[in-house]
Amino acid sequence: MACVVIMAGGRGERFWPRSRMAMPKQFLNLIGSKTMLQLTVERVQGLVDIEDIYVVAGAAFKDIILKQIPHLPDSNIIIEPFGRDTAAAIGLATVVVRQKHPFDVMVVLPADHYINDVPRFRDIIRGALAAASRGEEIVTLGITPHRPETGYGYIRQGDEFEVFAGVNTYQVERFLEKPDYEQALEFLSHGDYLWNSGMFIWRVDLISRLIEIHTPKLAEGLRMIEETLGTEHYQNTLREVYTDLPRISVDYGILERADNVLVIRGDFGWDDLGSWTALDRYADKDENGNVLEGKGIFLDTNDTYVYSPNNTVATIGVEDLIIVCDNDCLLVCHKDKAQEIKKAVQALKDKGFDDVL
């Protein structure tokens, strides 16, 4: 038996103005009619029961999650009082799931990734479950790079390990932080460097042990939380303890320090939809490379992406733009600057426009 923990704590700022504080990326239907969270839940159907799916998110999103995933048990929503990076979020999830699944495999999936080939994804997860069920290794999913991406961490794939349920696993030689462009180019041409997808598969008792070993301060906090689980003191303790938890990613805090990590090459068409330009990749284009999600016309316009569900749009004499007109906001951004949208959100915040964030 296994369980799935879906990490839904992201802020999705790069998708402003569609993604907002109150409705971040993972709860939006960026591709097709289903939301990213719904697609993530759907993707693991047949692998685990809905009772064994957990979602980690802020309290503000509980209602949205229940609305989007109606059959999800209330108690399977693991509320973080505030974000403290992935090690804390995964630690908290571990505390909760080990009540029911002390020796089961836990699959950690971000709520906001896109996967094209779902059957292949399921096959890979089955292999990962088989590998992780031994309780000796952590299993990660690495993605073969197809561009010199500087926005992800990388996994250096090592020797071949075993085959589990028809899926090859490799030892991880090392984890690498986000590279600069030169390094990213090198990684791309090398072949053994994979993108760290942020999807992890491990037995609950193993990750619990690794948290104790590599992040003792986190482990200590988690023990205090666990002691109040199911009591009236839980919420207060959680909030108090969480405040002081180290802000550290699971990659940096645990995976990089562990010596028993495997990687599976996740050849299932993965995309983290990191920015508006990612959506542009999946949209139907006109003969000039333009995308129009909404009503309007392009005049003398090339390679421009428009999302405007309500306002009728006309563009004239422009190219390589991302134009998003959503409710009370408008973004006009050069495609090369899509990563700067986070800065724009910060600038709007600095100017006091909190109502549109």
Q: Shortest gap between Cβ of 302 and a second copy (angstroms)?
A: 12
**Over 81-115, what HEC string results?**
CCCCHHHHHHHHHHHHHCCCCCCCEEEEEECCCEE
Residue 123, CB-side half-sphere exposure with 13 Å CA sphere: 12
Which residue is it, tokens 């064994």?
A: 52
Residues 34-73 that bind a second copy (CB under 8 A): none
Binding mask 7-36 for a second copy (x = CB under 8 A): ---------xx-------------------
Does the footprint of a second copy cover residue 121 (CB under 8 A)?
A: no
Q: Which of 50, 188, 283, 344 binds a second copy (CB under 8 A)?
A: 344
Q: Shortest gap between Cβ of 152 and a second copy (angstroms)?
A: 22
344 phi/psi in degrees, rounded to 5: -65, -40
Residue 16 or 164 having the CB closest to a second copy: 16
How many residues make contact with a second copy (CB under 8 A)? Answer: 40
Taking contact as CB under 8 A, which single stretch among the options 41-49, 73-81, 111-119, 340-348 is the one that binds a second copy?
340-348
Residues 280-309 that bind a second copy (CB under 8 A): 295-297, 299-300, 308
282 phi/psi in degrees, rounded to 5: -100, 0
Q: Answer yes or no: are the C-beta atoms of 133 and 31 closer than 8 Å.
A: no
Taking contact as CB under 8 A, which single stretch among the options 24-32, 71-79, 233-241, 321-329 is the one that binds a second copy?
321-329
Q: Which of 40, 76, 208, 315 binds a second copy (CB under 8 A)?
A: 315
CA torsion, ordered 95, 99, 101, 107, to nearest 10 deg: -30
List, in sequence order, every residue forming a beta bridge with 294; answer none if it has no partner: 308
Taking contact as CB under 8 A, which single stretch among the options 98-106, 191-199, 220-228, 335-343 is the one that binds a second copy?
335-343
Which residue is it, tokens 């369980």?
A: 3
Q: Shortest gap between Cβ of 64 and a second copy (angstroms)?
A: 23
What CA–CA distance (Å, rounded) separates 274 from 198?
Answer: 13
Q: Shortest gap between Cβ of 181 and a second copy (angstroms)?
A: 18
Residue 37 or 331 having the CB closest to a second copy: 331
Residue 199 or 333 having the CB closest to a second copy: 333
Does the footprint of a second copy cover residue 336 (CB under 8 A)?
A: yes
What CA–CA distance (Å, rounded) separates 102 from 104?
Answer: 6
Residue 32, CB-side half-sphere exposure with 13 Å CA sphere: 9
What CA–CA distance (Å, rounded) separates 57 from 8?
Answer: 5
284 phi/psi in degrees, rounded to 5: -75, 135
Residue 178 or 334 having the CB closest to a second copy: 334
Does the footprint of a second copy cover residue 311 (CB under 8 A)?
A: yes
Q: Shortest gap between Cβ of 318 and a second copy (angstroms)?
A: 6
What CA–CA distance (Å, rounded) separates 258 from 271?
Answer: 26
322 closest CA partner among 295, 310, 340: 340
Contacts of 54 (CB under 8 A, 6+ apart): 3, 4, 5, 6, 76, 77, 78, 93, 96, 97
Does the footprint of a second copy cover residue 82 (CB under 8 A)?
A: no
Binding mask 226-265 for a second copy (x = CB under 8 A): ----------------------------------------
Residue 122 or 342 having the CB closest to a second copy: 342
Interaction site with a second copy (CB under 8 A):
16-17, 295-297, 299-300, 308, 310-318, 321, 323, 325, 327-334, 336-337, 340-341, 343-345, 347-348, 351, 353, 356
